[in-house]
Structure 1
Amino acid sequence: MKSDLDQFQVEHADIGNIESITIGFNDDNKRQAAWLLESVDIETKETVYHFQAQCWLSNRLGSNSSWITIRPDKNNDYINYSVSIKTGKSNITSNVILCIYGDKKTTKLFPLRTIKNGTKVKFDKDDYFEFDLKDINVGKIEKINIGHDGQGNEQKWLLKSVRIEKNDEHYV
């Protein structure tokens, strides 16, 4: 995975407080391009805004998935997500990642490394794992992107189910 820092200078009249940004790309050549957007920092004369994305942008994930609207980080906007994962007849030694897409926002990219009790996770076959994650409220959950980074010796992974609970809402 290549990691680059791109910097742009844009001169514009003062627009006041930045509440959100929309960022992405057009895949006009239909190359099925993908981009892992980690974060965006915007510096004005008065403020530095940090927008945490940590999500893949790609048309391969469905329509309108090559663009994201995100708000600047505010810790008091965070909620708890309880994520339960059941695995099937094979295990994986790669690093597993999860991103939650809602009708309002998208979470950062979560590396699923430690389960609720603090134990480092090993995604064995026919097992059950629970994670506590904290991030912005995405609104009604519409989809997730769960996968792995391709590292490790065992990469044939069967995922039986994913259950996400937030506030009083349950998604399977």
Structure 2
Amino acid sequence: MSQYRVSVYTGDIDDAGTDANVSITIHGSSRSVGPVDLDNSENNFERGKVDHFTLDLSDVGRMDKINIAHDNSGNKPGWFLNRVVITKDGDTAEFPCSQWLANDETHNTEVDIDRA
């Protein structure tokens, strides 16, 4: 098992936040893990906010790509995701996004993001 520290950056634009349920899949050089729900006791994924999660998951090797998605639930579920940063065993990987995950904007509630 490895400990992943996941930081999710929601954009700072009108209606960027979401109350939908968000999950992540991490793809690496040796395997993939997920989807795993990103949830804690905070009010997550609000406009201009950075949310932090600690996940104990199988080691994927070098992190290459992620899939991040939401279930389109709640009031105004559209979400503007700025980026995701994941640190595991001293390796920090950044996954830039800067796009809407919204049925009414992009007709898509998930995205695959390659490591920067």
TM range (shorter): 0.7 to 0.9
Q: TM-score with structure 1 length normalisation? A: 0.51
C-alpha distance 110-84 of structure 1, shift in aligned 2 (>3 A)? same
Paired residues for 1:1-172 under 5 Å: 78-88=1-11, 89=13, 90-114=16-40, 119-172=41-94
- Cα deviation, 1:12-52, whole Å, max 9, x if unaligned, reads xxxxxxxxxxxxxxxxxxxxxxxxxxxxxxxxxxxxxxxxx
Which secondary structure does the structure 2 equivalent of 1:158 belong to?
strand
Deviation at 1:155, TM superposition (A): 1.7
> If you compute each CA radius of gyration, which structure gives the higher value, 1 or 2?
1
Instruction: Tell me the TM-score normalized by structure 2.
Output: 0.74
RMSD over aligned Cα atoms: 1.0
Q: Which runs of 5+ in 1 are unaligned?
A: 1-77
Larger RCO (alpha carbons 8 Å, 6+ apart): 2
Secondary structure, counterpart of 1:107 in structure 2: strand
Seq. identity, %: 31
CA distance in 1, matches of 2:76, 2:55: 26
Counterpart secondary structure, 1:129: strand
- Report how many aligned residue pairs link the two structures: 91
Aligned residues of 1:112 and 1:121 also touching (Cα < 8 A)? no
Structure with greater strand percent: 2
